A and B are shown apart, each in its own frame.
Chain A
Amino acid sequence: MNETYYERRDLEDFPHIGEYAPEPGAKFFEYYATATSAGKLTAREKALIALAVATVRHCPYCIDAYTNKCLSLGVGNDEMMEAVHVGAALVAGDTLAHATQMRKIIKQKEM
């Protein structure tokens, strides 16, 4: 059997996620379009941010969509990888920053 929860073709279903709740669906898409299209930041900058978030969030659909978008916008492979490192560094930093809680507790508890 060749069934998986995540299928590449599911990405094509994204425009239909408003099904069963069209009003919030439409509002989401309006927001999504505004947030991800060029504003003060360029389309390239936003695509790189989205790619970094997609990898951090482990979303295969968004990684596919935004890798393609970055290629389409002429973003270099090296630039994409740098963006992923920003995401990776933030995850590492965020993990280590939470060690503060551990360190505080250790200091509180140890004699």
Chain B
Amino acid sequence: MMHQATSRTDPADAFIERLTDCGAFPLRASGIDILQLNITRRCNLSCKHCHVQAGPRRTEMMSRETMTRCIEVAGTEEISTIDITGGTPEMHQDLEWLIIKLAALKKRLIVRSNLLVMLEPAYRRYLDVFAANKVELVGSLPDCNAEKSDRQRGVGTFERVLQAIGELNQRSYGVPGSGLRLHLVHNPVGAYLPGPQAALEAEYRRLLGDRHGLSFNTLFCLVNTPIGRYLDYLKRSGNLSDYMRALQCAFNPQTVTSVMCRTTLSVGWDGRLYDCDFNQMLNLTVNSGAPDHIEAFDYARLAGREIMVRSHCFACTAGAGSSCQGALKT
């Protein structure tokens, strides 16, 4: 039987049908383990796949006031991880202040970075700020082939990321046993799905490790979500319907219970609350029944909220599944 959709979910959506088929609709959060803060949409790059549509001309920045409220919320006992993202977090003038405050909570603290920004003189200090505060770094490197990676992010970016990894390795980042963790993110450079994470990680290690003497902890494989600039690319290149079909064919019911929105709360630069960073870019705030601004944060009401699912969610349930921490089933 088709469930009654809430006023803000589209019953015609194919994803809802799949969830219904496997008895998982409505999809509900099962707590808040990760608080993800998207503090800016500014970035020094303009990658072709960017779901945030970030770039140098974006001006959105989280205010100190909102950050202060986020720090209070991050202290909530159930929240174990704070995940700072953007845009490029380093380009937010208050990042260092925010890191110092959050590090004091002694929780897992992640910053998502394009890494190469830290080679610019204005942001170099972050190489040391991150290390001093034991920040876990998640750096994007779409492909371990220079030409492919550069096609997505701009000429010369691959070389610069490698240089930044080298600098981080010198500070013991990515060196097993050092306690300073550096993960890399792979995402397909085109309209196809990523292969098995373990196989790709081995390939990254072979190319980065054996050829360049660089090390990292884990490779996260992400499926490109069909929104933002990636959606524009799919439309422009005539790949949209094929890609959506590929995602739907790869739907894996076993990933449904572990999709990241079930344990994540995403905060936008303006303090609004979302189920994930993708919904944030679509302006889909959390379900109308739950508070949708950090000022009104209420763990009990948000922890079991109904997730706002749409067809882009197929990217999270394809194959081994996909999340900000890579594949869901490895």
Contact = CB atoms under 8 A, between A and B. Distances in A.
Interface of A: 8-9, 12, 38, 42-44, 68-69, 71-74, 76
Contacts of B190: 71
A12 B242 CA distance: 11
A74 B200 contact: yes
A43 B245 contact: no
Interface in B303-325: none
Given A38-B199, A69-B195, A74 B249 contact: no
Contacts of A12: 245, 249
Interface string B179-194: 0000000101010111
A45 B199 CA distance: 11
B196 interface: yes
10 contacts: A9-B245, A43-B196, A69-B195, A71-B192, A72-B188, A72-B195, A73-B195, A73-B203, A74-B203, A76-B145
A74 B245 contact: no
Given A43-B196, A74-B186, 12 more contacts: A9-B245, A12-B249, A38-B199, A43-B199, A71-B188, A72-B193, A73-B199, A73-B200, A74-B144, A74-B195, A74-B200, A74-B203
B136 interface: no
Contacts of A8: 242
Interface of B: 143-145, 186, 188, 190, 192-196, 199-200, 202-203, 242, 245-246, 249
Given A12-B245, A74-B200, A74-B203, A68 B192 contact: yes
Given A42-B199, A44-B203, A74 B143 contact: yes
B12 to A, nearest CB: 21
A110 B242 CA distance: 59
Contacts of B200: 73-74
A43 B201 CA distance: 13
A76 B203 CA distance: 11
Contacts of B242: 8
A9 B246 CA distance: 10
A69 B188 CA distance: 12
6 A-B pairs with least C-beta separation:
A72-B195, A73-B195, A71-B192, A43-B199, A74-B203, A68-B192
Nearest to B249: A12
A44 B251 CA distance: 23
Contacts of A72: 188, 192-195
Which of A43, A68, A72 has the most CB atoms of chain B within a 10 A radius of its CB?
A: A72
A73 B143 CA distance: 10
Which of A44, A68, A69, A74 has the most CB atoms of chain B within a 10 A radius of its CB?
A: A74
B108 to A, nearest CB: 29
A47 to B, nearest CB: 8
